[in-house]
Structure 1
């Protein structure tokens, strides 16, 4: 038994002995429900309505008014309120959403694997995490469920789920509008209106738009990049002919068209490449070859927020769809059908060398995705037994057309000797890839809650799942003159063709894989007293098979490694115990959770430093373990004061990963002899021999902070202003994350320092209005959101600095 579990058990016993057994009906507060929200938080985590404190699982609930008050307008920002949620993004497609360090493999990702954290909007599963980068649109609340959720949610999720519920049509006329303006030319507008069309039909329409100047200044193009430019629309029609039947038709469309996304120079770290072929020496050689050029990055301080990347940038992003939800009270329960179609159209252009040099002159992988899902679910609630049984079907098609091209400086950057001086060898070398993915999934799941006594409930759950994936990837490589090259048989060393094949290899793969999986969980929960609930859960879960869709890594013989076409499914064993308590006449809430999750054949995104696969590829780590403790506390002393504090300790490690790609400080040199014991003693020594693979067992998973905290408080007082009665209020919220590493194989060069952010707001609100000013990152803390390793093992590290201090004001009206 881990130390975390022992501590949680001792705390559970202590609180249980102090709990008072009262008989008043249960009410619940969410530890994350910031000031102004109702104390009774209703959730649908178990596919039925119940209060948050009654649910025997770890869940954070963030109300819509709390989201708006704290300025967390999408899932990326939501991590400031939910400590165990981590979201890291370089652009909408390359976004990682993790809970407790698990979920989507961190890094630039492939489409050929499943999300470990499911994102649901009104019961509809969103297959790609790009949906997380859009503005929340007319949201009622967000539930962040931690731990495996496959026995109650349509798509299997091994790490958790984000359940977003939007406001629904009403038969009473209502509406609200919100306008926000701030520095960096920040402008945001939101509006929604709802009301009846007849006695049985109601409609709701909502719109949101956000724009903001970019946070990095490109000295080459003389304009800011990494802008925000979002538009979202949602319409919902409710037909309710009787109390037993409701039919809801919803449609939504969101569009982003910012100038972005780019990075800035952060640092140079020496690799094992020859010193003359590392970043600073290469820049000097390029300048020497072109007298008067004198290239240098505009700043070596990333917090100057300057860059000079030269490639065309674009981040066109469209996402939307429609759903039909039918709820029908049949017999003793409720039958629910959810039919949905969703699309995603992604049109990017990127700078893949992260510099103002013409190394990679073009990089773009536009993608079109369509998904269809159908879910049938039957819920029964009885005096002793509650049950859910469901069927889920899912079909997806993804098409991608990619182009990557080398530029005029590529030979000097990537080649050595006389070849480095011949720009024509790599200039214009182009890799054009065509790919598609077909993914089909079907599942039968169910859960039963049986009340053995008024206090003791057991809850077994099962899921039977079938997945099939078919992929196609074809890369054609052409020279600057348009000649198609072939790298089979392997060209002679030292030739022009060998140099070209060393950068881009023609590849063609058609992987196909299918798999059946059976998973289950068992929960026991006991009500020690009226306001003290304890629970324990064991879950046996899985993440299904994956395929590599962005090109395969190269072997030591410089040919595509076909054995990497597919990756094994993950096998998950999860243990969790928790305690949910309220005390001080329910003015205070304290919840505690301890967890231990082990995953065999963990699907990790890794990066070998090669140009052709720099986006990363999937590989199986033998075993990963994530364990820790989470605590949530809220206190509401009166209507005048509310405060909360949440914390999490997460110890997430590669328990065993013996054949991982090496970090940059152990890469770039001539490979050590095959079959020898890897020598890690010369990290960062130019010219040293490089291990063929590295054993990173025991090292931390990327993207995970060991310590994370969030807090907030608000105080208010009644006043009358301009004959308007209301409240003046002052609020503060903040979060802290300890350091974390951004490389799949942790590197000394990609360690991101911990940081703490603090936000303030102050305003006046009353019946139907709210006017307030806000400051975010009030102390103008410098912090990094993401670090990336440039390809080619030259030692360049680029990154994205977090937002500087921002400030502005918001006006809200409702009627």
Structure 2
């Protein structure tokens, strides 16, 4: 598996070597802008964005938007969105594996810890104006990126239905008619190796091309003592090519294609801690392990370490996270009068091939909970952007079609009966309780066939009316239609007490079958969802001076409704409760005020934003009541609110000094959610009397009221900061700079569970990175770096595990890493 990408990697290595040989004598063609673009540089007035689907200075756009340029990505090692969040305190990125990934902005976007094919994200991701519906694409490395724009708050008018929290707009470098190239090589501890290269130039008088490659490889940071592997490794490869045809100054045609693959030994969540649930006393984790060891004195079980930061695990099933994305797009831009007509046609595919150990232990409980998924999507956007003296406008239409098929499997092993079944149920007339008979659940398997057809279409328009030179009003509207057709078919096979293996049905009264149904029940449903929705917004902005812009926005937006395609609850006869198969759209009311300023002769930039967002019918995670299934299903919480203040400050008081501080205070809570899933301390009990948190043998409530509790995944306080100091010098007759830079981030405590638990709060932490290097005016940059320099131990996520045993699994962040990077332009 580790050699799957050998041929492309050899090709990339050859290209990097050739590039480096060519670059050394040729470093004179292009002056580097690295000093001006260094992290913390305050030249925000020079940063051009396309946040409103046309090119504008970022300080003139009445939107809360942050921009990370190519130089900052290179210097800080933010080569994917997971690392980018350290620079953007309002972005939250969580990924236990590529399929189970969520991106949130200001605490909104997607329910933490759940991927459901029938539900979409609330943060839109665009690369070169192509919409990426599957967020798994965001776990891949950036390939030849020019800049990343993070648009905060609803962007439903111009960016579509599923941007209730914001949008991430990524732009790659265009082909150049002048020959140019870039190469970058990094090496570090944990066997870290990363290479990037791009070459661009003319193929004729009207045609130019660009090809870019990126590869990242790193050993895992966790030692699996069961398989003798280093797990949670990195193994990424990306290739991107673009051809530009420019027959005239008014017409441009871009044909782009890309291929991206990850194939690491991943992804492991390991023993983090144990908490008491309301399950009976002898069914708690510590008691279960002790009882298991009494039954297996020759092979007792012991977790490798109860300190997760020893970085040891004993997961005994195969781990794989092969994540493949690719596609092609055709973008045409035609300048017509005072406007530009743009057409973007795209096809994308996604192939997900996982292997997991979902019991999070070295026991044979759930050796497989895999959901291989294939997706194809087609998009077409057509828009016209006009710029005039008294008004600007953008009008357009968008179409989208997607096919998804997930062929899931969930199996149970020889330890599943002991771990998951009640210790009080015995075979009628027999002396052996079911939990002591491994054969009851051993070999139980669910084969799931999940299919979705997803079609949507929209028309939209945005007007900016320049009432005076200083005052503008910008209303916008988008009308959207959605239709989704989904099928969920789960066939469960088990062995009866007579030794016959057959599909599980609800007609059987065999005690083994009854026990198996309580763990994994079959179901089938076929549902269709369709809906019309209207998004609209209005923004008023005023230029108090050339360097001071104030604005206020109201937006009404929505996130598409959908289908629960992870299964729904069953009644006593095994009939799916299809009334919860459909999930209503989220309805969002958003208010925002902002101030964008530059001062000190434009050496400093300070932007301030206040926001208040209310969401009705918030798509939240609830339980399905089954013993061993980690995934619940989605339902609509009555009301959620997120509000806060954000500040971004950067300054370059001198050519040798730059610094920045970005901060966010976010208060994100359920305002009304009375039928929420209960946290683990109120789960698993089957007694007769309700009890307190973690009281063994109590009667657990069916639902819990979590109104006024925190939304998961969002810290109240988040800050990113950094500074760089350089010393001009002449080296080998070339002008350059020695420099030292520091970048850091902090976030306060946050909840890592759908309903806040006393066991799954993640404590606040700060991460700090150092870099020291030399760069010159001809494009050479050599620097050493240390990330997480203080070697901070921290969790990225905490999660409950099957069976309500109280075991909490954790995903731990990277330890201290260090290395050297060499890059060149020519």
Instruction: Determine the C-alpha separation between the residues in 1 that align with 2:415 and 2:296.
Output: 11
Q: Which moved more, 1:712-721 or 1:533-542?
A: 712-721
Instruction: Determine the C-alpha separation between the residues in 2 that align with 1:524 and 1:31.
Output: 31
Say if 2:628 and 2:802, in contact at 8 Å, map to a contact too.
Answer: no
Deviation at 1:611, TM superposition (A): 4.8
Structure 2 residue 588 is matched with structure 1 residue 572:
yes
Alignment equivalent of 1:329, drawn from 306, 330, 335: 335
Q: Which moved more, 1:466-475 or 1:34-43?
A: 34-43
Deviation at 1:479, TM superposition (A): 1.2
CA-to-aligned-CA distance 1:585-642 (integer Å, 9 cap, x gap): 1111100000000000000133456356422321111100000000000011121111
Deviation at 1:36, TM superposition (A): 9.9
Instruction: Determine the C-alpha separation between the residues in 2 that align with 1:667 and 1:291.
Output: 31
Deviation at 1:287, TM superposition (A): 1.5
Instruction: Determine the C-alpha separation between the residues in 2 that align with 1:685 and 1:459.
Output: 57
Change (3 A) 1:55 1:172: same
Alignment equivalent of 2:787, drawn from 765, 776, 795: 776
Alignment equivalent of 1:424, drawn from 434, 439, 445: 439
2:533 is matched with 517
2:823 is matched with 812
Alignment equivalent of 2:501, drawn from 460, 476, 483: 483
Instruction: Determine the C-alpha separation between the residues in 1 that align with 2:612 and 2:416.
Output: 47
CA-to-aligned-CA distance 1:528-570 (integer Å, 9 cap, x gap): 1111100000001111111111122345887643222111111
Say if 2:780 and 2:825, in contact at 8 Å, map to a contact too.
Answer: yes
| 1:103 partner SS | coil
Q: Matches of residues 250-289 of structure 1 in structure 2 within 5 Å?
A: 250-289=256-295
Instruction: Determine the C-alpha separation between the residues in 1 that align with 2:248 and 2:785.
Output: 45
Q: Matches of residues 594-609 of structure 1 in structure 2 within 5 Å?
A: 594-608=610-624
1:24 is matched with none
| 1:131 partner SS | helix
Deviation at 1:37, TM superposition (A): 7.6
Change (3 A) 1:190 1:611: farther
Alignment equivalent of 1:707, drawn from 717, 730, 733: 717
| 2:282 partner SS | helix
RMSD over aligned CA atoms reads 1.7
Alignment equivalent of 2:545, drawn from 529, 534, 549: 529
Instruction: Determine the C-alpha separation between the residues in 2 that align with 1:119 and 1:244.
Output: 28
Change (3 A) 1:482 1:224: farther
Instruction: Determine the C-alpha separation between the residues in 2 that align with 1:623 and 1:403.
Output: 35
Say if 1:429 and 1:478, in contact at 8 Å, map to a contact too.
Answer: yes
Deviation at 1:476, TM superposition (A): 0.6
Structure 2 residue 709 is matched with structure 1 residue 693:
no
Say if 1:286 and 1:409, in contact at 8 Å, map to a contact too.
Answer: no
Deviation beyond 2 Å, 4+ runs, structure 1: 29-39, 480-489, 553-563, 605-613, 720-725
2:679 is matched with 663
Instruction: Determine the C-alpha separation between the residues in 1 that align with 2:800 and 2:570.
Output: 18
TM-score, length basis structure 1 = 0.94
Instruction: Determine the C-alpha separation between the residues in 2 that align with 1:509 and 1:465.
Output: 26
1:755 is matched with 765
Q: Matches of residues 483-562 of structure 1 in structure 2 within 5 Å?
A: 483-489=501-507, 492=509, 495-554=511-570, 560-562=576-578
Alignment equivalent of 1:402, drawn from 404, 408, 413: 408
Alignment equivalent of 1:59, drawn from 65, 81, 89: 65
Q: How many residues align?
A: 779
Alignment equivalent of 1:197, drawn from 203, 210, 213: 203
Instruction: Determine the C-alpha separation between the residues in 1 that align with 2:139 and 2:504.
Output: 40
Deviation at 1:109, TM superposition (A): 1.3
Deviation at 1:693, TM superposition (A): 0.7
Alignment equivalent of 2:731, drawn from 718, 721, 740: 721
CA-to-aligned-CA distance 1:303-357 (integer Å, 9 cap, x gap): 0000001111111110010000000112331110000000000000101100000
2:240 is matched with 234
2:470 is matched with 455
Say if 1:178 and 1:810, in contact at 8 Å, map to a contact too.
Answer: yes
Deviation at 1:810, TM superposition (A): 0.3
Alignment equivalent of 2:451, drawn from 410, 432, 436: 436
1:14 is matched with none
Instruction: Determine the C-alpha separation between the residues in 1 that align with 2:108 and 2:128.
Output: 24
Q: Which moved more, 1:410-419 or 1:650-659?
A: 410-419
Alignment equivalent of 1:799, drawn from 806, 810, 813: 810
Say if 1:84 and 1:708, in contact at 8 Å, map to a contact too.
Answer: yes
Change (3 A) 1:554 1:281: farther
Deviation at 1:108, TM superposition (A): 2.4
1:245 is matched with 251
Structure 2 residue 487 is matched with structure 1 residue 472:
yes
Structure 2 residue 119 is matched with structure 1 residue 113:
yes
Instruction: Determine the C-alpha separation between the residues in 1 that align with 2:302 and 2:570.
Output: 32
2:754 is matched with 744
| 2:681 partner SS | helix
Change (3 A) 1:693 1:154: closer
1:366 is matched with 372
Say if 1:274 and 1:669, in contact at 8 Å, map to a contact too.
Answer: yes
Change (3 A) 1:730 1:743: same
Say if 1:32 and 1:60, in contact at 8 Å, map to a contact too.
Answer: no
Deviation at 1:137, TM superposition (A): 0.4
Instruction: Determine the C-alpha separation between the residues in 1 that align with 2:117 and 2:228.
Output: 34
Change (3 A) 1:186 1:778: same
For structure 2, list consecutive stretches of 5 or more residues without a partner in the other structure. 1-34, 425-432
Instruction: Determine the C-alpha separation between the residues in 2 that align with 1:552 and 1:410.
Output: 23
Structure 2 residue 424 is matched with structure 1 residue 414:
no
Change (3 A) 1:482 1:91: farther
Structure 2 residue 165 is matched with structure 1 residue 166:
no
| 1:102 partner SS | coil
Alignment equivalent of 2:608, drawn from 585, 592, 605: 592
Say if 2:444 and 2:516, in contact at 8 Å, map to a contact too.
Answer: yes
Instruction: Determine the C-alpha separation between the residues in 2 that align with 1:274 and 1:472.
Output: 37
Change (3 A) 1:452 1:482: farther
2:303 is matched with 297
Instruction: Determine the C-alpha separation between the residues in 2 that align with 1:117 and 1:210.
Output: 26
For structure 1, list consecutive stretches of 5 or more residues without a partner in the other structure. 1-28, 674-678
| 2:418 partner SS | helix
Change (3 A) 1:107 1:32: farther
